[in-house]
Amino acid sequence: METVNLDLGVDSYSIFIGGGLLDDGDLLRRHIAGNQVLIVTNETIAPLYLDRVLAHLSGYQVDAIALPDGEQYKTLDTLNLIFTRLIEMNANRGVTLLALGGGVVGDMTGFAAACYQRGVSFIQIPTTVLSHVDSSVGGKTAVNHPLGKNMIGAFHQPKAVIIDPELLSSLPERELRAGLAEVIKHGAMASFDDFCWLEENIPELLSLNISKLTFALRRNCQIKADIVSQDEKEMGVRALLNFGHTFGHAIENSMGYGNWLHGEAVAVGMVMAADLSVRLGMCEHGDALRLKDLIAASGLPTVPPEASGVEFLNIMYRDKKVTDEGLKLILLRRLGHAEIVEGVSKQEILATVNATELLSSN
């Protein structure tokens, strides 16, 4: 087992990474606050792993709820199902919620924990690459609104994150590839060495080499933990973790939640952000093209869907990163170094949105 610590003062916690950790009952019980537990999972994950978690919880008052699976269900209506179950089980402020699933389950469980009786404990047990390296770490919780992704939420840190790479063996290939988008993102925006390592090791990650996966998960959790510990509430440097997300969220919204996986949209969003970076003279074309090539080598899309440029831009301007000064973009200076950029004109953004080909190698 490897451990990454996230230093947030009284809200500090550890991320535990290791094969077989789903069956480490002592580790799980150590982070349960009281006697009541609600496991929140989904209809896909419950048949695979719910019984293994329940086996560690004899002696507790335990209930479980399996939500419908998919980004399209990350809504206030679905969130209310969790609140209803908590009230039905007479859960008090000592209850601990266990999020057993991917990013959608983790986000909704964390948001429910932030809101129920004004805040209760929760533990993340992520089951996808995307949730291992991104959504389970850092305390961002939210649901979507038809007009914008993750627009309704709260910062609420878990008591622990328990990552078992062996769970990825049940992950569909499309979900595995989509999760690698966030791994690529961390290298592109924060660590040139990690980006180069990915260029060499993507095939082994795709083939579920547990040793390589464990290394990648630990490195990515460390990158994110280092940034979040500096800026928990995203008032500054944490915004860098949104590289590719402003464009990506607009893709998800415009295409309908669930039609593009989050990681697929972020992959194209990174290519669009890199294209804009080159157009603005910030980034060398060769660096941006290496990013596009790595995304393609991971089996991820690099071409945005056809959409009305003006409507796409309108969706981008409903993003959480819009301030009184305008849209805040995360753009690439070079591989391993992204920057927060404000003041980019709508015409410059539209040049990327309307491009017939992004980052042409010609």
Q: Over 70: is that where the pLDDT of 280 sits?
A: yes
Confidence of residue 324 (pLDDT cuts 50, 70, 90): low
| pLDDT band per the 50, 70, 90 thresholds, residue 330 | very high
- Beta pairing partners, 39: 64, 98
Single out the catalytic residue among 234, 253, 290, 320: 234
> Of 239, 228, 301, 299, which is closest to residue 270 (Cα–Cα)?
301
Query: Which residues is 61 bridged to in the sheet?
Result: 36
174-353, CATH topology level: Dehydroquinate synthase-like, alpha domain (1.20.1090)
In this predicted structure, the answer to whether residue 326 has a pLDDT above a threshold of 80 is no
Percent of the chain with pLDDT over 90: 88
- The lowest-confidence range among 85-89, 186-190, 295-299, 303-307 is 303-307
285 is catalytic: no
Among 118, 200, 325, 362, which one carries the catalytic annotation? 118
Residue 166: its pLDDT value, please?
Answer: 94
What's the whole-number mean pLDDT along residues 248-273?
Answer: 94
Q: Active site residue: 71, 175, 182, 252, which one?
A: 182
**For this structure, is 224 an active site residue?**
yes
Question: Catalytic one among 159, 262, 321, 328?
Answer: 262
Q: How sure is the predictor about 286, in pLDDT bands with cuts at 50, 70 and 90? A: very high
Answer yes or no: are the C-beta atoms of 329 and 273 closer than 8 Å.
Answer: yes
**All structural domains of the chain with their residue ranges:** 2-170, 174-353
Q: How confident is the model at residue 45 (pLDDT cuts 50, 70, 90)?
A: very high
Position 362 scores a pLDDT of 52
Is domain 2-170 in CATH 3.30.565.10, yes or no? no
Region 237-263: mean pLDDT is 93
Residue 245 is a catalytic residue: yes
Say whether pLDDT at 117 is over 90: yes
140 catalytically annotated = yes
Q: Does the annotation mark 74 as catalytic?
A: no
Check 159, 186, 212, 245 and give the catalytic one: 245
Cα separation, 104 vs 75, whole angstroms: 10
Catalytic residue among 150, 220, 242, 253: 242
| Mean pLDDT of all residues in 28-44 | 97
pLDDT score of 153: 96
Q: Which residue has 């601990």 as its token pair?
A: 96
To the nearest whole number, what is the mean pLDDT of the chain? 94
CA angle, corner 349, sides to 342 and 142, nearest 5? 65
118 is catalytic: yes
Q: Is 30 an active-site residue?
A: no
pLDDT band per the 50, 70, 90 thresholds, residue 325: low
Helix/strand/coil (H/E/C) assignment for every residue in 285-351: HHHHHHHHHHHHHCCCCCCCCCCCHHHHHHHHCCCCCEECCEECEEEEEECCEEEEECCCCHHHHHH
Buried b / exposed e over 41-55, threshold 16 CB at 10 Å, is bbebbbeebeeebee
Bridge partners of 349, per DSSP, are none
Q: Is 71 a catalytic residue?
A: no
